[in-house]
Structure 1
Amino acid sequence: MNRLRTLVAATALTSTIAAPAAAPPFETPARVAYLLDLSSGAELLNKGADTPMPPASMAKMMTTEVAFELIDSGKLALSKTCTVQPATWQKWHGPAAGSTMFLSPNEQVSLENLLHGIVTLSGNDASVVVAECIGGTEQAFATQMNALAKKLGMTGSRFCNSNGWPDEGCTVVTARDLAKLARASIERHPKLYKQFYGQPSFTWGKTLGSGQDITQANRNPILGKVPGADGLKTGHTEEAGYGFTGSAEQNGRRLIMVMAGLPSFNSRIEESVKLMNWGFNAWQSKPLYAANAAVGSAEVQLGSAATVPLVAQRAIAVTYPAGAVGGEPKLKIAYNGPLKAPIAKGAQVAELIVTTPDGTVQRMPLVAGEAVEEAGFFGRLWLGLKQLVGMA
């Protein structure tokens, strides 16, 4: 049975929240546009978020994420040396090979430098070298990409190569999935995210003849144009058009945006800056609960305790249009219950449902604040007796 409980006490925390006025519309020529507020989980804009599309170089976010997972799990070191195979260099150098890190055949390059080459320079060559270095072959590495995509809940995505190069529709993503991927990099690997994303430029390779160092600027269209911008990845092919998955944080509030199918390099800059500014300026966020704060409790069936405390998995806020006047949101806890023991501490077992006065619904996960073991024989017997005599 699905349980809904209204949080009367919690509503008092939000007595100053204003009733939303209608959010200003956002019009864009992008075929796909998606904006997510991580502070509340609210979708501020959804234009084709679940439409399958080619990712172009935004696929490199997954190549980077596979490496991040291995690094933070201790299975891979940033100092690991990777060799640029001559066949790989042959395929991925020259004007026809797209964005490049300017690697050389048989060059020995650290994983750290290759990741800068992927993230900052969007190097197709760097992506394939990393894939071969980690997976043995690019095809084997693509299997790792898809396994991680499944783990992250990217249900609308499939990866067949490491750099997003057109492959007759084999590699496909959705904007919602790209936002999930961006969120994973930001929240699961904060140190690595800060180290590699948001760098204004990177220097690698030498020019022919003079042998001068080659410095390339980050193509991120909001970097230096939107306060707090620090990621993530652009993409462009003839098939996909110009796209971008980006993120920025202002005053503790982080937004993730995805745009795709834009007609030009300049339109990507203009539309990306416009969407991110709209997200911060046209909407505001009100904190509700700090991370790990107690929100309520849920009933437990045949457990060592009759209830389990429900806590906020992360800081919880509600997002609503700026410039609103009066009113309060309604808060409810929902779970399928009573919950069955055993329950692990930290397991997601419920949701906090926040309904703003305009009817917008935002859902945030709640987790078990304590472990609840399954009741033993005598515990189950006692619970049965209590129910029999109406004590429970």
Structure 2
Amino acid sequence: MQSTQFAFLPLVFALAAGALVPGAAIAAKPAVHKKSAAEVPAPAPLAGQSAVEGGVPAIPAKAWLLMDFDSGEVLASANPDEPLPPASLTKMMTSFLVEQALRSGKLKKDDLVSVSENAWCRGSSTESCMYLPLNSQATVIDILRGIVIQSGNDASKAIAEHMAGSEEGFAKLMNAEAQRLGMKHTNFVNATGLPDPAHKSSASDLAILARAIIRDSSDYYPLYAEREFKYNGIKQGNRNALLYTDSTVDGLKTGHTQEAGYCLVTSSKRNDMRLITVILNTNSAKARADESRKLLGWGFSRFEKASPIQPNAVVTNAKLSYGKADTVAAGLGAPWTLTVPRGQKLQTSVQLKPDLEAPVSKGAVIGKVIAESNGKPVGEAPLIAQADVERAGFMLRMWQYLIK
């Protein structure tokens, strides 16, 4: 009976997403949303700030944010740094630590994880579970799927105990990693996101974490786009409704408690641009999907990728002292793209390191190039020496010194 119930979840989540967007993955009619008894009134629309003047969306949530993945630049946000209850968005850190342990070899996919009484879900309908049997064992990769796709509290607790001896010990690992990533408004108390007054994170921090998962867990990031996972005969669907209605969305995580409201972190890639959105504390599963879709649509329509300088171009010829050559060509070491408001013109300027002297090795950083728009810096890239320049002999160096 339980298996049959969960098999319908993918359809429910797809319907909850509302109207489809271009490039949709499946065809479905928009659902008629009925207010449930448990649903709270929507928060007042929260207007944001952006590099784009005018037309910044207002989102009915306590905090929200739009980030460019490539640069980490925040393109628009409202209340981004307020510590708020993150609910199951917490599990992004839990899964990230598992993924990094798999990458380093500390964990293996087929390692067995035991399910203690503390980790075991007792069949409660009030929490998300993978439904791991008590005193059973599951592989690390199944546990990871249970965390990412099914949002299992039991899976999260079991892996926390496996990796750190206790959930309290695992929370210390979570906070150490949050500090390393630069998450300044976060404190984790548990591996699940279950309510605790001290358990907080912010929209800006959760976007930083999402970016780290996409960047550093590429082998496992496809799990975040999987729509369902069957374990122990129970099939459950991913609660991220946008996965069913927008083929450009490939993650990341939903969250909900009464205190945290409905939360969603998404990532979408269209052409060469990937955007990350965070919505914290809106009033329904439909609202978090609708508002995320609206924010993504606004971002992709208002911003574009620009390349201020081509990778093979010589940006400048830098003057050198005491070399067999007087100058060295300087250019970019890698392709350089920026996400900027559509139609915005860029200007570039060069800053070289002072008093450059030979020898200089090809590939050495000898300065930087700065991109500006309307007099404001919008990005910079290192300038790289394009050739080796040997140091001149003693007599030539003396002559160069005298004629300075």
Normalised TM-score (structure 1): 0.75
1:110 corresponds to which of 120, 139, 142: 139
1:140 aligns with 2:166: no
Q: Note if contact 1:329-1:354 (Cα within 8 Å) is conserved in structure 2.
A: yes
SS for the counterpart of 2:220 is: helix
Structure 1 unaligned runs (5+)? 1-19, 206-212
Render the CA deviation track for 1:66-94: whole Å, top value 9, x for unaligned: 111111122221111101012321xx433
CA contact (8 A) 1:243 1:261 kept: yes
Q: Give deviations 1:139-162, integer Å, cap 9, x for gaps.
A: 221222122222222222222211
| Contact 1:175–1:259 (CA under 8 A) maintained in structure 2 | yes
Cα gap change, 1:70 to 1:329, in 2 (>3 Å): same
Corresponding letter in the other structure for 2:251: G
2:378 corresponding residue in structure 1? 362
- Paired with 2:345 and 2:281, the residues of 1 have a C-alpha distance of 38
User: Deviation at 1:116?
Assistant: 0.6
1:231 Cα deviation from its structure 2 partner: 0.5
Identity %: 34
Aligned to 2:97: 66
Asked if the contact 1:289/1:315 (under 8 Å) is kept, the reply is yes
Question: Is structure 2 residue 215 aligned with structure 1 residue 173?
Answer: no
1:252-291 aligned at under 5 Å gives the runs: 252-288=272-308
Q: CA deviation at 1:38?
A: 2.4
Match 1:101 to one of 130, 150, 155: 130
The alpha carbon displacement at 1:51 in A equals 1.7
Once superposed, what is the RMSD of the aligned Cα atoms? Answer: 3.9
Distance 1:161 1:344 in 2: 49
Asked if residue 190 in structure 1 is aligned to residue 218 in structure 2, the reply is: yes
Match of 2:189 among 160, 167, 174: 160
What corresponds to 2:58 in structure 1?
27
Query: Comparing both chains, which one has the higher relative contact order based on Cα–Cα distances under 8 Å and sequence gaps of 6 or more?
Result: 1
CA distance in 2, matches of 1:225, 1:279: 18
CA distance in 1, matches of 2:272, 2:281: 30
Query: Are residues 155 and 31 of structure 1, via their aligned partners in 2, closer, same or farther at CA, if it must alter by over 3 Å?
Result: same
Letter in 2 for 1:100: C
Distance 2:358 2:68 in 1: 34
For residues 103 and 190 of structure 1, the distance between their equivalents in structure 2, rounded to whole angstroms, comes to 27
Counterpart for residue 329 of structure 1: 346
Residue number in structure 1 paired with 2:340:
319
Change (3 A) 1:246 1:353: farther
1:385 Cα deviation after fit:
6.8
CA contact (8 A) 2:110 2:140 kept: yes
Q: Secondary structure at the match of 1:44?
A: strand
In structure 2, how many angstroms separate the alpha carbons of the residues matched to 1:68 and 1:347?
34
Q: Deviations over 1:98-131 (max 9, x none)?
A: 1111111111100101111100111111111111
Aligned residues: 352
Q: TM-score, normalised by structure 2?
A: 0.73
Determine the C-alpha separation between the residues in 1 that align with 2:87 and 2:313: 41
